[in-house]
Structure 1
Amino acid sequence: MMGMWFYQEVILQPTEDIAISFLWTKVYRQIHLALVNSKDEQGVIRCGVAFPEYSDVQPTLGRTLRLLAPEESDLQRLNLADALKHLAPDYVKIKTVRPVPIRACKGFVMYSRYQPEATAARKARRYAQRHSMSIEEAQKIFPSAANKTRYPYIQLESMTNHHRFSLFIQKQEAVEHPCEGFSAYGFSRRSSVPDF
């Protein structure tokens, strides 16, 4: 039986001049900062993200970002109205915090960051060790997977070194887990969120 969860949705509202991808970049930068600032006394981020319109067939995140947490206060601590004040009400609509409708819940999912470059680099390193060749040679066998990745992504810029990167997002079916916390992007490979 699932425990109580709460959620709050942010609906992106692209215009003729402002593309949805640009809005995702702006919104997610603010969500990332809000998540970092929402850590509890133990330094744990208690809010996870979900993308109800997610698809990796036609890679898209849709227009809805859902933030979920086991306690209503976790979402209130995020203070989305303040985090997104420069974008609302013109480009985003922020809904009120509500309890997750248990009857509508299809199960649990995990959203995690997928790093194609890291995967290719790991394979190349292992191959080089096993076949006593240089990493450079092995990398030719495992070209970067970035251009083949079928996951939707958000274009972001690192706050520390200002490098632009693609935050690829992977969704997997999961079982219900007690909330152990989420990353600064709202993802987890351990904590799952209700899917509805």
Structure 2
Amino acid sequence: MNYYQDITLLPDADIALGFLWQKIYQQVHIALVEQKVDEQHSAIAVSFPSFGSNGFPLGNKLRVLAKEQAQLEKLNLAGFLSRFEDYTHLKSIQLVPESVSHVAFVRHRVKGQARIEKDMLSKAQIWSTKSGQSLELCLQQLEKSKPAADSKLPFIWMESLETKAKNLTGSAKFPLFIERVEVAGVREGQLNCYGLSAVRGEQIASVPHF
């Protein structure tokens, strides 16, 4: 990534920072979807320069990065954020500094309590059938390694554009949990349409961190 553009969020007494993150990141997501390179991927990344801040875990700044200046110009963040110009400060497109470290930001999927219970029952039924043990006994054994439904990672409430299009009456909101992963050097992985690395491991996508 060679170019970047910073968005600083400006909360006030009436508009909280967490609420602003929902609105601003949703607009950035819509912009990334419009410029996506295929159905699931983006050529443009996001980063959170103040990730882990004491006050608000995502900080108050969102950075958008691309290999080419023209990609950020075409993204037209000013247009997508025009309704929020009183609550954001959008800087001009800049060159990424030469000496920087790299990190990756990935989506961390957290299961809700209902999904955890459903998965446990399914595993217990399979285990019971294979082992001949009672379903109750298998559930008791699985309870020992039952995952927690919560996460201490920061998240942003998002609205799924795909779910909203398919279901006009149901809720399309979900928490997008974000995790920062330390990496050694540049990693040329794919990005999803939230601007995050699409995968972990060897194929992870890194961004300059400064």
3-state SS of 2:111 partner = helix
Contact 1:32 / 1:185 at 8 angstroms: preserved in 2? yes
Residue segments in structure 2 that go unaligned for 5+ positions in a row:
129-134, 165-170
CA separation of 1:113 and 1:42: change in aligned 2, threshold 3 A: closer
Residue of structure 2 equivalent to 1:95: 91
Note the C-alpha offset of 1:127.
Answer: 5.4
Residue number in structure 2 paired with 1:47: 44
Give the TM-score of the pair, scaled to structure 2: 0.76
Alignment match, 1:166: 175
Listed as ranges, the gaps of 5+ residues in structure 1 are none
Question: 2:155 aligned to 153, 156, 163, which one?
Answer: 153
Q: Secondary structure at the match of 1:102?
A: coil
Residues in 2 aligned to 1:80 and 1:48: alpha-carbon distance in whole angstroms: 13
Counterpart secondary structure, 1:96:
coil
**Which residue number in structure 2 is paired with residue 10 of structure 1?**
7
State the distance in 2 between where 1:81 and 1:158 align.
22
Contact 1:54 1:60 in 2 (8 A): yes
Deviation at 1:54, TM superposition (A): 0.4
Structure of larger gyration radius: 2
SS in 2 for 1:31: helix
Partners of 1:42 and 1:17 lie apart in 2 by: 38
**What corresponds to 1:117 in structure 2?**
111
Given that 2:53 and 2:59 are in contact with CA atoms closer than 8 Å, whether structure 1 keeps it comes out as no
Query: In structure 2, how many angstroms separate the alpha carbons of the residues matched to 1:42 and 1:12?
Result: 29
Q: In the superposition, relative to structure 1, how do residues 143 and 41 fare at CA in structure 2: closer, same or farther (>3 Å)?
A: closer
User: TM-score scaled by structure 1?
Assistant: 0.81
CA distance in 2, matches of 1:156, 1:82: 20
Alpha carbon RMSD of aligned pairs, Å?
A: 3.2
Q: In 1, distance between residues paired with 2:121 and 2:71?
A: 41
Quick check: 2:40–2:192 contact (8 Å CA) kept in 1?
no
Q: 1:41 & 1:167 partners in 2: Cα distance?
A: 21
Alignment partners' CA distance in 2, 1:73 and 1:141: 53
**Residues of 2 paired with 1:74 and 1:141: CA distance?**
50
- Of the three residues 21, 27, 39, the one matched with 2:18 is 21
Superposed, 1:71-90 pairs within 5 Å as: 71-88=68-85, 90=86
Q: 1:37 to 1:176 in 2, by over 3 A?
A: farther
In structure 1, how many angstroms separate the alpha carbons of the residues matched to 2:184 and 2:119? 29
Deviation at 1:182, TM superposition (A): 1.1
Matched with 2:195 is: 186
Q: How far 1:59 sits from its partner (Å)?
A: 6.2
Task: Write the distance in 2 (CA, Å) between the matches of 1:42 and 1:167.
Answer: 19
After superposition, the Cα gap between the structure-2 partners of 1:59 and 1:170, relative to the gap in structure 1 and judged at 3 Å, is farther
Question: What secondary structure, in the 3-state scheme, does the structure 2 residue paired with 1:33 have?
Answer: helix
Equivalenced residue count is 188
